[in-house]
Chains A and B, each alone.
Chain A
Amino acid sequence: MMEKMVFGRYIPGDSFVHRLDPRSKLIFVFIFIAAVFLANSTVSYALLLAFTLMSIFASKVRIGFLIGGLKPVMFLIAFTFLLHIFFTKEGDLLFELGFLKIYEEGLRQGIYISVRFLVLVLMTSLLTLTTSPISITDGLEVLLNPLKKVKFPVHELALMMSISLRFIPTLMDETDKILKAQLARGSDISSGTMKERIQAVVPLLVPLFVSAFKRAEDLAVAMEVRGYRGGEGRTRYRQLKWDWRDTTALLILLAVIVALWFLRG
Chain B
Amino acid sequence: MERILSLQDVRFTYTPDDADGRHAVDGVSFDMQAGEWIAVVGHNGSGKSTLARLMIGLLFPQEGTVGLFGDTLTEDNLWEKRSQMGMVFQNPDNQFVGATVQDDVAFALENNGIPFEEMTLRVRDALRQVKMDTFLDHEPQHLSGGQKQRVAIAGALALRPRLLILDEATSMLDPQGREEVIRVILELREKTGLSVISITHDLEEALLADRVVVMNGGRKFAEGTPQEVFLKGESLTALGLDLPFAMRLSALLGEQGIGTEPGTMTERKLVEQLWTLRSNR
Q: Measuring CB to CB, which residues of chain A are less than 8 angstroms from any residue of chain B? A: 132, 134, 162-163, 165-166, 169-170, 173, 214-215, 218-219, 221-229, 233-239
Contact = CB atoms under 8 A, between A and B. Distances in A.
B110 A236 contact: yes
Interface residues of B, number: 39
Given A227-B112, A229-B111, A237 B106 contact: yes
A225 B111 CA distance: 10
Contacts of A238: 103
A12 to B, nearest CB: 10
Contacts of A225: 56, 58, 82, 86-87
Nearest to B82: A227
Given A221-B58, A235-B116, A237-B116, A226 B99 contact: no
Interface string B102-116: 110011111111111
Contacts of B97: 163, 166, 219, 222-223, 226
Contact of B111 (A132, A163, A226, A239): A226
B85 to A, nearest CB: 8
A212 B74 CA distance: 32
Given A134-B99, A219-B97, A223-B97, A235 B141 contact: no
Name the 4 nearest CB pairs between A and B, nearest first.
Answer: A218-B94, A237-B106, A222-B95, A227-B111
Contact of A218 (B82, B89, B98, B103): B89
Nearest to A171: B93
Nearest to B87: A225
Given A219-B95, A227-B83, A235 B115 contact: yes
Given A219-B94, A235-B114, A237-B123, A226 B106 contact: no
Contacts of B159: 226-227
29 contacts: A134-B99, A134-B103, A166-B140, A169-B140, A169-B141, A170-B93, A173-B141, A215-B94, A218-B89, A218-B94, A218-B95, A219-B94, A222-B89, A222-B94, A223-B107, A225-B58, A225-B82, A225-B86, A225-B87, A226-B86, A226-B107, A229-B111, A234-B111, A234-B113, A235-B114, A235-B115, A235-B119, A237-B103, A237-B110
Contacts of B93: 170, 215
Nearest to B98: A166
Contacts of A162: 99
A15 B115 CA distance: 30
B141 A218 contact: no
Contacts of B102: 237
A239 B116 contact: yes
Nearest to A163: B97
B8 interface: no
Nearest to A132: B99
A235 B107 contact: no
Q: Name which of B97, B108, B140 has the most chain A CB atoms within 10 A of its CB.
A: B97
A166 B99 contact: yes
Interface in B182-236: none
Contacts of A224: 58
Q: Name which of A165, A173, A226, A229 has the most chain B CB atoms within 10 A of its CB.
A: A226
B91 interface: yes
B99 A165 contact: yes
